[in-house]
Chain A
Amino acid sequence: MSDAERAPRPGWMLVFACWLVASASTLGALFLSEVMAIAPCVLCWYQRIFMFPLVLILPAGLLPFDRKIVRYALPLALVGWLIALFHVLLAAGYFPESIRPCTQGVPCTDEQIAWFGFLTIPHLSLLAFSTVGTLLILTRMKDSR
Chain B
Amino acid sequence: MKQKTLLIGSAALLVLAFAGGAFLYNAKKSEEAARAAERNRSHLVRMHSPSLGSSGAKVHIVEFFDPACGTCRAFYPFVKKLMAADPDRIKLSLRYAPFHERSDIVVRMLEAARRQGKFWEALEAVLASQELWAPNHKPQPELVWNFLGGIGLDFERVKRDMDAPEIASLIAQDIEDARTLNVTMTPEFFVNGRPLPSFGYDQLKDLVDNALAEAYR
Contacts and interface: CB of A to CB of B under 8 A. Distances in A.
Contact of B26 (A4, A12, A27, A35): A35
B18 A8 contact: no
Given A27-B18, A31-B18, A62 B25 contact: no
A23 interface: yes
A35 B6 contact: no
Interface in A45-101: 59, 62-63, 65
B160 interface: no
A5 interface: yes
Interface string A12-33: 1000100110011001001100
A23 B10 CA distance: 10
A141 interface: no
B3 interface: yes
A16 B7 contact: yes
Contacts of B25: 31, 35-36
Interface residues of A, number: 19
B4 A35 contact: no
Contact of A35 (B10, B14, B21): B21
A51 to B, nearest CB: 14
Contact of B7 (A27, A30, A63): A63
B188 to A, nearest CB: 13
B21 A31 contact: yes
Interface hub of B6, B18, B22, B26 (most chain A Cβ within 10 A)? B18
Interface of A: 4-5, 8, 12, 16, 19-20, 23-24, 27, 30-31, 34-36, 59, 62-63, 65
Interface of B: 1, 3-4, 6-7, 10-11, 14-15, 17-18, 21-22, 25-26
